[in-house]
């Protein structure tokens, strides 16, 4: 009898141990347990720690509550400005409602992945290439809203979505490189032009200061010679400023009052001879010049004293003619002074 009781006790203990092993469950700290009894959802969600379920009656499903990092496969698309690109992204999400994640969707990970791919394609078609390259923050927010709207009903919360890489065709890369190079060259030319403008202003101020003192220009020339000679060159090129030549030329020219005070003297003609014909001025016009008046023959004046030498015969009677003068050039073209006119009549000796 005792042996039968001991055998029954052992059987009961073994059955209890087997039941305990079959009913015992351990839920980790980052997990939550959803119990389905005969396929029906139990309202109580099992927290972390040790829990018991009815073997063969209850079924416990553990749901991970950690943030999941899921890469979105690269998607080929055409932007709004007709550029073919290949964009991939990464999505961060977590489960906030374990019951909805189990009941509302078959596989919430797969559902979130597919929703992220379709939303990424939609974002590519609505955006320009410049936005994909430089304005990613705005696109990330739009992509997050597009994925989060259906995911809320699945008990999933989208924490963050980031566009990871944008791949461009090789032709587009070369075009963008040429554009960047042209922009850099434009900026360099603007900077050089600005530098030239500032340098020209400073040089004009320096030239204004040097123009008042010619010696300053000569000293600057000597400084240039010293700077060139410091390189130990075998050939020295000495620049000679044109302003210095003009200064020397102005120093050699006579002033206008001196030319007026000392007019050229006209030699007197001997008695009984025709006066010398004044050389025609090359600047006088033949069309405007009037012919000189005819001159009368002069008679020798009586003298009390005998002439020392016989008087040369007088010229044949008749008017004296002069050659027509050439054309007169404009007054501004001939700056020299003309000698004073002595008249067209001959001088008679008394």
Across 45-49, 90-94, 216-220, the highest mean pLDDT is recorded for 90-94
Task: Give the per-residue pLDDT at 113.
Answer: 92
The model's pLDDT over 234-270, given as tens digits with 9 standing for 90+, comes to 676 666 667 767 777 877 776 555 444 545 555 554 5
What distance in Å separates the CA atoms of residue 269 and residue 292, rounded to the nearest whole number? 18
Asked if residue 42 lies in contact with residue 13, where contact means CB atoms within 8 angstroms, the answer is no
Q: How many residues does the chain have?
A: 350
Phi and psi angles of residue 88, each rounded to the nearest 5 degrees, phi first:
-125, 160
pLDDT (average), residues 303-319:
44
Q: Give me the mean pLDDT over the 5-15 stretch.
A: 85
Strands 49-52 and 84-95: what pairing? unpaired
Q: If you average pLDDT over residues 65-94, what whole number do you get?
A: 91
Q: Mean per-residue pLDDT for 164-187?
A: 90
pLDDT of residue 147 exceeding 80:
yes
Q: What is the pLDDT at residue 332?
A: 44
Note the pLDDT of residue 316: 45
When pLDDT is cut at 50, 70 and 90, the band that residue 117 belongs to is: very high
Q: What is the mean pLDDT of residues 222-242?
A: 71
* 348 has a pLDDT exceeding 50: no
Q: What integer pLDDT is reported at residue 219 of this predicted model?
A: 82
Mean pLDDT computed over every residue of the chain: 75
Q: Is the pTM of this model over 0.85?
A: no
Residue 67 has pLDDT above 80, yes or no: yes
pLDDT at 320 over 90: no
Long-range contacts at 58-63 (CB < 8 A, ≥ 24 apart): 59/35, 60/25, 60/33, 60/34, 60/35, 60/36, 61/33, 61/34, 61/36, 61/102, 62/27, 62/28, 62/31, 62/32, 62/33, 62/34, 63/31, 63/32, 63/33, 63/34, 63/95, 63/98, 63/101, 63/102
Which residue is listed with tokens 């963050």?
A: 160
pLDDT in the model for residue 191 = 95
pLDDT in tens, 262-296: 455 555 545 454 455 454 444 444 444 444 444 44
For residue 322, what are the CA distances in angstroms to 278, 290, 294? 9, 10, 10
Determine contact, residues 47/32, Cβ cutoff 8 Å: yes
At 310 the pLDDT is 44
36-45, 115-124, 201-210 — most confident range: 115-124
pLDDT of residue 234: 65
Is the pLDDT at 92 greater than 90, yes or no? Answer: yes
**Res 223: pLDDT:** 82
H/E stretch holding 62: strand 58-64
Burial class (CB in 10 A: 0-12, 13-18, 19+), 109: middle
pLDDT above 70 as % of the chain: 69
Q: What is the mean pLDDT of residues 46-53?
A: 88
pLDDT > 90 in the chain, percent: 20
Give 272 or 157, the one with higher predicted confidence: 157
Q: What is the DSSP letter of 179?
A: H
DSSP track, 65-97: -SPEEEEEEEEEEE-TTS-EEEEEEEEEEEES-
Residue 312 has pLDDT above 50, yes or no: no
pLDDT band at 21 (very low <50, low <70, confident <90, very high): confident
pLDDT at 90 over 60: yes
What pLDDT is recorded for position 238?
65
CB within 8 Å of 284: residues ≥ 6 apart: 325, 326, 327, 328
Residues 6+ apart with CB under 8 A from 18: none
Quickly state the pLDDT bin for 86 (edges 50, 70, 90): very high
Beta bridge partners of 27: 49
Residue 340: the pLDDT is 45
Maximal CA-CA distance, the chain: 211
**Number of helical (H) and strand (E) elements in the chain, helices listed first:** 9, 8
């Amino acid at each position: 009898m005792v042996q039968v009781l001991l055998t029954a006790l052992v059987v009961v203990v073994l059955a209890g141990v087997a039941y305990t092993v079959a009913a015992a469950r351990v839920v980790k700290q980052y997990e939550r347990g959803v119990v389905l009894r005969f396929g029906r959802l139990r309202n109580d969600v099992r927290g972390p720690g040790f829990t018991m379920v009815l073997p063969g009656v209850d079924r416990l499903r553990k749901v991970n509550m950690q943030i999941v990092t899921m890469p979105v496969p690269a998607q080929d698309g055409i932007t709004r400005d007709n550029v073919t690109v290949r964009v991939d992204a990464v999505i961060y999400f977590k489960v906030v409602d374990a019951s909805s994640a189990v009941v509302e969707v078959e596989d919430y990970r797969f559902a979130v992945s597919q929703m992220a791919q379709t939303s990424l394609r939609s974002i590519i078609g609505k955006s320009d290439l410049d936005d994909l390259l430089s304005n990613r923050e705005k696109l990330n927010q739009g992509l997050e809203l597009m994925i989060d709207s259906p995911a809320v009903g699945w008990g999933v919360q989208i924490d963050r979505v980031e566009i990871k890489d944008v791949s461009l065709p090789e032709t587009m890369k070369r075009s963008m490189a040429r554009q960047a190079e042209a922009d850099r060259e434009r900026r360099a030319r603007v900077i050089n032009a600005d530098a030239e403008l500032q340098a020209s202003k400073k040089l004009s101020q320096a030239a204004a200061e040097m123009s008042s003192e010619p010696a300053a220009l000569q000293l600057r020339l000597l400084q240039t010679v010293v700077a060139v000679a410091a390189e130990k060159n075998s050939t020295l090129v000495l620049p000679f400023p044109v302003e210095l030549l003009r200064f020397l030329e102005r120093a050699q020219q006579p002033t206008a009052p001196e030319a007026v005070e000392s007019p050229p003297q006209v030699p007197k003609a001997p008695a009984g001879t025709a006066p010398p014909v004044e050389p025609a001025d090359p600047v006088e016009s033949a069309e405007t010049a009037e012919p000189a008046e005819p001159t009368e023959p002069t008679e020798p004046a009586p003298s009390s004293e005998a002439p020392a030498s016989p008087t040369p015969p007088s010229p044949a009677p008749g008017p004296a003619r002069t050659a027509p003068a050439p054309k007169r050039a404009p007054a501004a073209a001939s700056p020299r002074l003309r000698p004073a006119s002595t008249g067209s009549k001959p001088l008679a000796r008394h």
